[in-house]
A and B are shown apart, each in its own frame.
Chain A
Amino acid sequence: MNRKQILISILAAFCMYATAEAQRIKGSDTLLPLTQELAEEYLAEHPDREVIVTGGGTGVGLAALPEKTTDIAMASRRIKFSEKMKFAEINLDAKEVIVAYDALAVVVNPSNPVDSLTREQLEAIFRGKITNWKEVGGEDRKIVVYSRETSSGTYEFFKESVLDNKNYMSSILSMPATGAIIQSVRQTKGAIGYIGLAYLNRYVKALAVSYDSGRHYAYPSVGTAADGTYPIVRPLYYYYDAAREAAVSPFISFALSPAGQESVLRQGFVPVK
């Protein structure tokens, strides 16, 4: 009995030690694999430190920051006004760091002759105002529009950036995963959809996109996303409490270091520098 008690208290002490020292990172599922990779490399350099990375979504991470249950919140979108107001209520000064960029590619079936679209055309297609490819210079074929499910951050970002916060049409086909969109676009001649840049492959064709009514078009690539010519790019953020900067800065400066940014590139995201 006595030995058991000692064992438990040692275990408890160990756990408390771990939580006191460990860096807790929580939030976006888009950033999760990248942050895990960064954490592994960081730990290889500093074996005495501890980093715990969990997902749950951007909203979960940003809600955990004022509750002090995470040190860094990962976010695949900018902090919302309402969340900022919540931080302001408890005088929490949240600092924002962009760790990487993620570009969304608009993809069509490889047999489709259309190469480029403007934002206005994309908005009309995804809102159901344009329903035939011949209206945008293609063949006489019905446009089949694929989207992600409403729960996805990609869905929200595309809605915000391309649709200007308007709603998708109700007859849009919503797919549970990026892989399903690629498969469907690959086997459907009139298909159009959107996927993360990292998922682009030879079975689907990416379109050049213009955000200035057709004056400049850009194809999605790490290069065009990094120099700002490709428009459908979202920054991926880390948020942290400015008062605790000293505790989180080693990991964040590692993420922004050349070695960290190299694994950003390896994971299919666009480096910050």
Chain B
Amino acid sequence: MKRFLERAVKWLLTASGFVTSLVILLIIAFLFAEGAGLFSERVIEDGYVLALNRENTVKELSAAEIKAVFDEDVTNWNELGGPDMAIETFRLEDADDYFTEEQLGPQYENAGSLIAALVESRPGMIAFIPESMLPEDPSLNFIKDKTISPGEVLAGSEWFPTATPAPLFGIWPLLAGTLWVSLFAILFALPFGISIAVYMAEVASGRVRNILKPIIELLNGIPSVVYGFFGLIVIVPLLQQVFGLPVGESGLAGSIVLAIMALPTIVTVAEDAMRNCPRSLREASLALGATKWQTISRVVIPASMSGIASGVVLGIGRAIGETMAVLMVTGNAAVVPTSILEPLRTIPATIAAELGEAPAGGAHYQSLFLLGVILFFITFIINLCVEYISSRSKAKYN
């Protein structure tokens, strides 16, 4: 009976281990499958075409060019390699300006042929219309539709996921924003975190440590939305005054909030690592006549480097993946940051703000999954770095 029970427990443990790993792998596979779907989507919105007059020789337009045309930033076809004539844009919403209700018919059955006739009569017109509405064999030219290319997405610097007729999914500003704000967060958190950890592990008396430790750990329990509120109401106006900025929502506000949030993780893990530093190492150092400070800086910190590094990485992980607090204080402007005092937009904030309304299965939805994949790779690389650092320092001290 006892043996049977033991075997059952063993099987249960094995099964739970495998099931968990399998679930994680499935989640990652799902993430990749959805994200990769973006590259099979078309540039122009699904079910729509861009129709041109026969006389127009333009055949291809990139998503950025289509946006410029419909924003009226480009007003002549010769800028796009076509004939020298002014661009006129037509969207379905403009149908009421050109036709009356009677002309369109009660069920809009005439709309397609009317629009086709309109485009045929205007040489400079580009019309954004549903494919299903067009009459058979219209004498029109169409812009050739391509699939979204990885280059456009990975190196593109414009993020307009809801633009019509052609959304732009340039993720470079989001990626740069995420890395930029995390880098500064860790620059702020690291010196503070390490010095608090050293103080608590080596300097503070037992009583002080017993008071300080719960206080620091309390920081971990504060919901991130509360940090966001605090940042928006206190840190943002403060930065605005101190630096005389036109706008207080900036990367700096985000990195300060993130630094505060990463601090307890760094402190707790680094302190544990230092306290677990072998007593023999410490005593040997003191016996050789080293001062307390020399022992800390030359022996204890190097010996517990792997623990400190993993604390730092856990802190970075928290900073990179943090959503709500960043969403509230960084201003969310999708531009490539050139200084830390400018507004920026991070990947997690983008996913959180946009996933709720993105139609499931569409290009916008898949682009958000792709952002998730990229976030996954960032943390994956950081984890590899840590493994490397800790394996090296372990080999040295064992």
Complex Cα–Cα for A88 and B130 (A): 15
B335 and A170 contact, CB distance less than 8 A: yes
Q: Does A266 contact B (CB under 8 A)?
A: no
Task: For B107, give the chain A residue with the smallest CB separation.
Answer: A88
Partner of A57, one of B93, B111, B133, B357: B357
| Chain A residues whose CB sits within 8 angstroms of the CB of B333 once the complex forms | 170-174
Most interface-central of B71, B107, B133, B247 (chain A CB within 10 A)? B247
Task: For A141, give the chain B residue with the smallest CB separation.
Answer: B246
Q: Does B95 contact A (CB under 8 A)?
A: yes
B222-236 contact mask (Cβ, 8 Å, vs A): 1 or 0: 000000000011001
Jot down 9 A-B pairs with beta carbons below 8 A, ordered by A: A82-B130, A149-B353, A150-B353, A151-B356, A165-B91, A167-B71, A171-B333, A173-B343, A189-B246
B236 and A142 contact, CB distance less than 8 A: no
B311-340 contact mask (Cβ, 8 Å, vs A): 1 or 0: 000000000000000011001111100000
Complex Cα–Cα for A151 and B71 (A): 20
Min CB distance, A145 to chain B, in Å? 9
B60-95 contact mask (Cβ, 8 Å, vs A): 1 or 0: 000000010011100000000000000000011101
Task: For B132, give the chain A residue with the smallest CB separation.
Answer: A85
Min CB distance, B260 to chain A, in Å? 20
Q: Which A-B residue pairs are the 4 nearest by beta carbons? A: A151-B357, A142-B246, A173-B331, A88-B107
A81 and B93 contact, CB distance less than 8 A: yes
Q: Does A7 contact B (CB under 8 A)?
A: no
A184 and B70 contact, CB distance less than 8 A: no
Min CB distance, B171 to chain A, in Å? 13
Q: Does B158 contact A (CB under 8 A)?
A: yes
B334 and A170 contact, CB distance less than 8 A: yes
B353 and A170 contact, CB distance less than 8 A: no
Complex Cα–Cα for A149 and B354 (A): 8
Please report which residues of chain A, range 138-173, place their CB below 8 angstroms from some CB of chain B when the two chains form the complex: 141-142, 144, 149-151, 160, 165-167, 170-173
| Chain A residues whose CB sits within 8 angstroms of the CB of B343 once the complex forms | 171, 173
Task: For B67, give the chain A residue with the smallest CB separation.
Answer: A167
**A188 and B240 in contact (CB under 8 A), knowing A81-B93, A84-B108, A172-B333?**
yes
Q: Does A222 contact B (CB under 8 A)?
A: no
Task: For A179, give the chain B residue with the smallest CB separation.
Answer: B232
Min CB distance, A7 to chain B, in Å? 37
A183 and B161 contact, CB distance less than 8 A: no
Task: For B246, give the chain A residue with the smallest CB separation.
Answer: A142
Per the CB 8 Å criterion, the residue count for chain B at the interface is: 46
Min CB distance, A80 to chain B, in Å? 8
**A183 and B233 in contact (CB under 8 A), knowing A88-B108, A188-B248?**
yes
Complex Cα–Cα for A149 and B349 (A): 11
Q: Does A12 contact B (CB under 8 A)?
A: no
Complex Cα–Cα for A183 and B162 (A): 26
Min CB distance, B25 to chain A, in Å? 31
| Chain B residues whose CB sits within 8 angstroms of the CB of A141 once the complex forms | 246
Q: Does B163 contact A (CB under 8 A)?
A: yes
**A170 and B158 in contact (CB under 8 A), knowing A57-B357, A144-B246?**
yes
Q: Does B184 contact A (CB under 8 A)?
A: no
Partner of B332, one of A59, A80, A174: A174
Complex Cα–Cα for A181 and B162 (A): 21
**A173 and B160 in contact (CB under 8 A), knowing A88-B108, A150-B357, A187-B237?**
no
Q: Does B249 contact A (CB under 8 A)?
A: yes
Complex Cα–Cα for A144 and B343 (A): 11
Min CB distance, A237 to chain B, in Å? 16
Complex Cα–Cα for A183 and B233 (A): 8
Task: For B173, give the chain A residue with the smallest CB separation.
Answer: A170
Q: Does B142 contact A (CB under 8 A)?
A: no
Q: Does B159 contact A (CB under 8 A)?
A: yes
Complex Cα–Cα for A173 and B233 (A): 17
A170 and B159 contact, CB distance less than 8 A: yes
